[in-house]
Chains A and B, each alone.
Chain A
Amino acid sequence: DVKVTQSSRYLVKRTGEKVFLECVQDMDHENMFWYRQDPGLGLRLIYFSYDVKMKEKGDIPEGYSVSREKKERFSLILESASTNQTSMYLCASSSRDEAFFGQGTRLTVV
């Protein structure tokens, strides 16, 4: 059974904190993605990676950074959390034909 695992289901952080969201996949996929999902806006791509130590900006990278030191792990970093980053964050890894999603992290910034 394929697995994409995100480190937390729910997080509450304070404004200005540095926040780390971790994602691990066991499918040996080269491609990994971070999305955020907001009501009425759908899934929006933050960053993606095609290979270890490689990263590309998505549609809304501002305020975020990523790290991919190992093939199976892709981390999303909020350098200084703000209230407008309150959202559901979804990690995915993909083959050519399908993206597999983690269970999501609901982040609240207060």
Chain B
Amino acid sequence: QKEVEQNSGPLSVPEGAIASLNCTYSDRGSQSFFWYRQYSGKSPELIMSIYSNGDKEDGRFTAQLNKASQYVSLLIRDSQPSDSATYLCAVGRDNYGQNFVFGPGTRLSVLP
């Protein structure tokens, strides 16, 4: 079983809709979770981090974590064409030095 799994997509949503991106992980002891956005030809950049069960909101982005189900998601409200990118889920392997493991990424396309 892969450590971090994501639906590779592409996920297509119309402009203004809610995009929902999902991620599951295998290590039940994981404590830190991250969503990165990567535009084509660019490096990943951090959107959100989440450490506790529940929801965490930042502008149009909401991260949701359910440790019992080993599931983390990212919701993007009022999706814009500029949100079209690959979204990478990352899980911290340890609490020292943040050794991350990344999922394969989900490609999101927001249609005007």
Q: Which chain A residues have a beta carbon within 8 Å of chain B's beta carbons?
A: 30-31, 33, 35, 40-45, 48, 50, 59, 90, 94-99, 101-104
Q: Which B residues are CB-close (under 8 A) to A98?
A: 34, 46, 49
Q: Which of B66-103 contact A (CB under 8 A)?
A: 88, 90, 95-103
Q: Which of A30, A40, A44, A101 contacts B43 (CB 8 A)?
A: A101
Q: In the assembled complex, how far is the CB of residue B9 from the closest CB belonging to chain A, in whole angstroms?
A: 12
Q: Which chain B residues have a beta carbon within 8 Å of chain A's beta carbons?
A: 8, 34, 42-46, 49, 88, 90, 95-105
Q: Which A residues are CB-close (under 8 A) to B98?
A: 31, 94-97, 99
Q: Return 16 A-B CB contacts under 8 Å, by A number.
A: A40-B8, A40-B104, A42-B102, A42-B103, A42-B105, A43-B88, A44-B102, A45-B100, A45-B101, A59-B101, A90-B43, A94-B98, A98-B46, A99-B34, A102-B43, A104-B43
Q: Which B residues are CB-close (under 8 A) to A96?
A: 95, 98
